[in-house]
Amino acid sequence: MMTIARDVSVSGRVQGVFFRGWTQEQAERLGVTGWVRNCPDGSVEAHLEGEEGAVNWLVDLIGDGPASARVANVRVREAEVEGLEGFEVRR
């Protein structure tokens, strides 16, 4: 099993719509570790680590977001694996 990491930036109506909590739920369900946080510019960014299929699936889910969100743009970049444990909502 190969572990990969991705940094994801999501813009649109993604703050105040339970985006971070929803992302945490999806990550934990898929066994993906990392974090998610709101940014001052109104976007949300996340660092995802895990098995390649699970990380890619989560990236796809984030592209849709929770029902109340309106995702306008998703930017995904390769990242360094940090060996994080669990998935946290950062403030």
CB 24 within 8 A of CB 36: yes
Dihedral Cα 8, 12, 38, 65, nearest 10 deg: -60
Please indicate whether residue 38 is annotated as part of the active site: yes
Q: Which of 13, 37, 38, 56 is catalytic?
A: 38
Please indicate whether residue 56 is annotated as part of the active site: no
Q: Which of 13, 20, 29, 75 is catalytic?
A: 20
- DSSP 3-state of 18: coil
Active-site residues, by number, are 20, 38
